[in-house]
């Protein structure tokens, strides 16, 4: 008997829908790469050595700023529609890219904050409280997915299996865990924004791709969590079913 035989048809249909979201998440990234005329693994070479060496620390600081700002803003600014988040970050990416690397670096924590708020809003859509420490951990974990310029289903799927209970010490731990992966992803974005002439356009395009990607991955993440709660099935089994579905859609 296979795993699929154990999954009810309605649950299997929901998994197929999530698989389509997962597949769509990275599609726009290829358009960005085509526009800037490069490959993701070569983009980081465009950054100065000093920036590359400090990227992980800058990313962790951006995450900490985002964590505080997103939490403080929840009582003041309501969650926005996905298209509005995308429009906002796309505009910010254009501004960040227009001034080259200095403005792109300055834009980084702002974009990260908007992305985290968007992820929290999607968690709320699925009935999870973004202020719950465990749900906040899930929101941060979404940043551990591979990024829109990656072509790695294994890396994209691994974050779904992560489950950490958030406490004082764990906040530091999960930021340390997520920062290296996100640093590579954001480094590609920064490098794209430094492309001569295309800076503003590349900044807008990469932010569009990244916002679309992380919102879709948040739907996958929290959709799977909700499916586990509603169906009573183990998340481990559902992740494996999703992995199979991603390969077949």
pLDDT digits (tens, 9 = 90+) for 26-69: 776 766 766 666 666 677 787 888 888 888 888 888 888 888 88
HSE, CB side, 13 Å, CA atoms: give it for residue 173: 10
| Distance, CA of 36 to CA of 40 (rounded, Å) | 10
| Distance, CA of 64 to CA of 42 (rounded, Å) | 28
Is the pLDDT confidence value at 73 over 90? no
CB 221 within 8 A of CB 159: yes
| Distance, CA of 85 to CA of 65 (rounded, Å) | 18
| pLDDT given at position 17 | 92
In this prediction, residue 165 has a pLDDT band, given cuts at 50, 70 and 90, of: very low
The average pLDDT across 130-154 equals: 78
| Distance, CA of 205 to CA of 31 (rounded, Å) | 9
HSE, CB side, 13 Å, CA atoms: give it for residue 176: 5
Place of tokens 């960040």: 96
| Distance, CA of 88 to CA of 79 (rounded, Å) | 13
| pLDDT given at position 126 | 94
Lowest average pLDDT, out of 45-59, 118-132, 134-148, 150-164, goes to 150-164
CB 21 within 8 A of CB 220: yes
Q: Tell me the percentage of the chain whose pLDDT exceeds 70.
A: 77
| pLDDT given at position 18 | 92
| pLDDT given at position 75 | 64
In this prediction, residue 91 has a pLDDT band, given cuts at 50, 70 and 90, of: confident
| Distance, CA of 8 to CA of 17 (rounded, Å) | 14
Residues in Cβ contact with 95 at an 8 Å cutoff, skipping those fewer than 6 apart: 103, 107, 200, 203
Give one DSSP letter per residue of 76-123, joined into a string: TSPPPPHHHHHHHHHHHHHHHHHT-HHHHHHHHHHHHHHHHHHHHHHH
- pTM for the whole thing? 0.82
Angle (nearest 5°) at CA 188 between 194 and 177: 140
Tokens in use for 244? 């199979």
The average pLDDT across 217-245 equals: 89
The average pLDDT across 182-191 equals: 84
Q: Tell me the percentage of the chain whose pLDDT exceeds 90.
A: 8
| pLDDT given at position 218 | 93
| Distance, CA of 145 to CA of 211 (rounded, Å) | 13
The average pLDDT across 106-135 equals: 88
């Amino acid at each position: 008997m296979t795993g699929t035989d154990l999954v009810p048809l309605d649950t299997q249909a929901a998994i197929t829908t999530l698989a389509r979201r997962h597949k769509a998440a990275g599609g726009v990234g290829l358009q960005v790469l085509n526009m800037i005329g490069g490959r993701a693994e070569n983009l980081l070479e465009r950054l100065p050595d000093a920036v590359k060496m400090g990227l992980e620390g800058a990313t962790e600081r951006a995450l900490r700023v985002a964590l505080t700002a997103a939490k403080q803003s929840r009582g003041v600014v309501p969650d926005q529609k996905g298209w509005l988040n995308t429009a906002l970050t796309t505009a910010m990416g254009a501004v960040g890219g227009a001034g080259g690397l200095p403005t792109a670096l300055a834009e980084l924590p702002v974009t990260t904050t908007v992305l985290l708020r968007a992820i929290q809003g999607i968690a709320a859509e699925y009935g999870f409280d973004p202020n719950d420490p465990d749900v906040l951990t899930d929101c941060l974990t979404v940043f551990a997915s591979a990024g829109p310029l990656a072509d790695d289903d294994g890396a994209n799927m691994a974050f779904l299996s992560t489950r950490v209970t958030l406490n004082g010490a764990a906040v530091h731990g999960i930021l340390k865990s997520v920062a290296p992966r996100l640093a590579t992803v954001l480094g590609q974005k920064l490098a794209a924004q430094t492309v001569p002439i295309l800076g503003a356009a590349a900044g807008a395009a990469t932010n569009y791709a990244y916002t679309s990607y992380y919102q879709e991955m948040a739907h996958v993440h929290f959709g799977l969590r909700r499916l586990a709660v509603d169906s009573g099935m183990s998340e481990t089994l559902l992740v494996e079913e999703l992995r199979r579905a991603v390969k077949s859609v």
